[in-house]
């Protein structure tokens, strides 16, 4: 089966196949990359799924259009996609600020009271709430480093800053998260000790 | 109340949150997936567009291509010129190489007539021919 053979192929090889007119490559690439972009965009946009889907669709469309011009060996496709998604999210966040500052979702202080042994999904929600309290760039850096698994040089490329600036952003972001989540330590299944 | 160092999560506790976040990968709905694939389909370069355009050739270009292209044509022209040159110049060296078979007698004259023995004297000696005639 062609699809089975393609699952082992690299992102770049699949994009070249797509650019050469192969109809199966897009399916594999979409299944592989779109959920990651969607998750990342969703984190940056405060968990707004509909907006995150719009960003993902636009980012993927730009990837398809880029395929014939893609220069192999220059950049990782995931890094390129995260860069596009970051820029699209930045635009949307900027618009949100200019349109209605009250529309920005506040960190949820009134999340359902938790019991010991809270499930992973609730921790993920709490993390998202805490991420929402971070300044935009810190949120991006922390999400890329600790949730998307990007390296510091990759993040530097995506955010167009130095590696030192990335280290500073992630360190400050982590510290802010640790503070924001500390207040909910008990309800999230950690002891206060 | 002011926060202190003890209000912070340690790295291991924070990592547990990150782990939960990493596992929380959104699933694509069928309709969203279909929309993404439709975009990919519409944006995909078509095979017909990728094929090199067929170049229309003239009759002469077709004939030259059948022969083997310009290099083959150049070889044929060289052979033709060499043949004409040998015919007119009748170089001595050629006579030497052929053992006097090709260019015997007064080859400068147009009236030169060749006999069979001129071409293969070893096999058709004069005596033998005379004997047969006799």
Count of A-B CB contacts under 8 Å: 117
Q: Within 10 Å of residue B43's Cβ, how many Cβ atoms?
A: 18
Quickly state the pLDDT bin for B35 (edges 50, 70, 90).
very high
CA of A26 vs chain B CAs: smallest distance (Å):
6
- pLDDT value, residue A72: 82
Residue B5, chain A, CB below 8 Å: the answer is: no
- pLDDT value, residue B25: 85
- pLDDT value, residue A25: 92
Of A23, A56, A178, the CB nearest to B8: A178
- Burial of residue B102, with CB atoms counted within 10 A of its CB: 0-12 exposed, 13-18 middle, 19 or more buried: middle
Of A38, A61, A182, the CB nearest to B26: A38
**Higher model confidence: residue A34 or residue B73?**
A34
Residues of B in contact with A36 (CB under 8 A): 25
Q: Within 10 Å of residue B132's Cβ, how many Cβ atoms?
A: 7
Q: What separation in angstroms does the CA of A65 have from each of A61, A62, B128?
A: 6, 5, 90
Closest chain A residue to B49, measured at CA:
A21
pLDDT at residue A59 tops 60: yes
CA of A94 vs chain B CAs: smallest distance (Å):
24
Closest chain B residue to A120, measured at CA:
B20
CB contact under 8 A, B44 and A64: yes
Closest chain B residue to A57, measured at CA:
B36
Please enumerate in sequence order all residues whose Cβ is within 8 A of that of B60, keeping only pairs 6 or more positions apart, or say none: none
Helix, strand, or coil (residue B8) = coil
Burial code (b: 16+ CB inside 10 Å, e: under 16) for A71-94 equals eeeeeebbbbbbbbbbebbeebbe
Residue B18, chain A, CB below 8 Å: the answer is: yes
Which of A16-20, A72-76, A113-117, A153-157 has maximum average pLDDT? A153-157
CB contact under 8 A, A126 and B14: no
- pLDDT value, residue B3: 46
pLDDT at residue B41 tops 60: yes
Q: What separation in angstroms does the CA of A77 have from each of A14, A66, A81, A168, B119?
A: 10, 11, 6, 25, 79
CB contact under 8 A, A21 and B32: no
ipTM reported for the complex, 2 dp: 0.81
Quickly state the pLDDT bin for A41 (edges 50, 70, 90).
very high
- Interface mutation vs chain A, best among B36, B47, B48, most A CBs within 10 Å: B36
What does B81-125 look like in DSSP terms, one character per residue? HHHHHHHHH--HHHHHHTTTSTT-S-TTSTT----HHHH-TTTS-
Tell me if A131 sits within 8 A of A43, measured CB to CB: yes
- pLDDT value, residue A102: 53
pLDDT at residue A112 tops 80: no
pLDDT at residue A60 tops 70: yes
pLDDT at residue A21 tops 80: yes
**Higher model confidence: residue B87 or residue B108?**
B87
List pLDDT tens digits, range B13-22.
889 899 999 9
- pLDDT value, residue A7: 79
Q: Where are the domains of chain A?
A: 1-101, 114-193
List pLDDT tens digits, range A94-105.
988 776 555 545
CA–CA dist A183, A186 (Å, integer): 8
CA–CA dist B2, A110 (Å, integer): 21
**Higher model confidence: residue A88 or residue B97?**
A88
Quickly state the pLDDT bin for A189 (edges 50, 70, 90).
low
Closest chain A residue to B4, measured at CA:
A179
- The CATH class of A1-101 is mainly alpha
Q: What percent of chain B has pLDDT over 70?
A: 54
HSE (CB half, 13 Å, CA atoms) of A62? 16
Tell me if A19 sits within 8 A of A70, measured CB to CB: yes
CATH number of A114-193: 1.10.10.10
CA–CA dist B44, A64 (Å, integer): 7
Pure H helices in A67-162: 77-99, 120-132, 136-142, 152-159
Tell me if B17 sits within 8 A of A127, measured CB to CB: yes
List pLDDT tens digits, range A61-86.
999 999 988 988 888 999 999 999 99
Residue B131, chain A, CB below 8 Å: the answer is: no
- pLDDT value, residue B117: 67
Length in residues, chain B: 134
Cα angle A173, A161, A47 (rounded to 5 degrees) comes to: 45
Please enumerate in sequence order all residues whose Cβ is within 8 A of that of B6, keeping only pairs 6 or more positions apart, or say none: none
**Higher model confidence: residue A144 or residue B48?**
A144
- Interface mutation vs chain A, best among B1, B21, B52, most A CBs within 10 Å: B21
Residues of A in contact with B10 (CB under 8 A): 178
Residues of A in contact with B19 (CB under 8 A): 120
List pLDDT tens digits, range A155-177.
999 999 999 999 999 999 999 99
Minimum mean pLDDT range among A165-179, B21-35, B106-120: B106-120
List pLDDT tens digits, range A121-145.
788 889 999 999 999 999 999 999 9
């Amino acid at each position: 089966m062609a699809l089975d053979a393609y699952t082992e192929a690299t992102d770049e090889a699949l994009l070249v196949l797509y650019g050469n007119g192969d109809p199966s490559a897009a399916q594999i690439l979409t299944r592989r990359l779109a959920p990651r972009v969607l998750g990342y965009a969703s984190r940056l946009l405060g968990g707004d799924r509909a907006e995150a889907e719009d960003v993902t669709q636009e980012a993927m469309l730009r990837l398809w259009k880029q395929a014939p011009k893609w220069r192999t060996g220059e950049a990782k496709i995931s890094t390129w996609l995260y860069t596009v998604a970051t820029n699209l999210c930045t635009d949307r966040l900027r618009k949100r600020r200019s349109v209605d500052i009250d529309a920005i979702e506040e960190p949820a202080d009134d999340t359902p009271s938790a019991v010991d042994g809270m499930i992973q999904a609730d921790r993920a929600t709490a993390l998202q709430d805490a991420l929402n309290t971070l300044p935009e760039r810190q949120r991006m850096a922390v999400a890329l480093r600790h949730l998307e698994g990007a390296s510091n040089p990759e993040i530097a490329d995506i955010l167009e800053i130095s590696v030192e600036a990335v280290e500073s952003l992630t360190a400050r972001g982590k510290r802010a998260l640790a503070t924001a989540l500390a207040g909910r330590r008990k309800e999230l299944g950690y002891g206060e000790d | 109340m002011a926060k202190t160092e003890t209000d912070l999560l340690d790295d291991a506790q924070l990592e547990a949150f990150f782990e939960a976040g990493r596992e929380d990968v959104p699933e694509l709905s069928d309709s969203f997936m279909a929309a993404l694939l439709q975009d990919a389909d519409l944006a995909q370069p078509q095979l017909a567009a990728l094929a090199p355009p067929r170049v229309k050739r003239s009759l002469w270009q077709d004939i030259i291509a059948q022969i083997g292209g310009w290099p083959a044509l150049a070889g044929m022209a060289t052979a033709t010129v060499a043949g004409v040159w040998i015919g007119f110049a009748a170089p001595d060296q050629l006579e030497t190489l052929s053992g006097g078979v090709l260019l015997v007698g007064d080859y400068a004259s147009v009236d030169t007539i060749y006999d069979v023995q001129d071409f293969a004297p070893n096999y058709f000696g004069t005596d033998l021919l005379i004997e047969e005639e006799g």
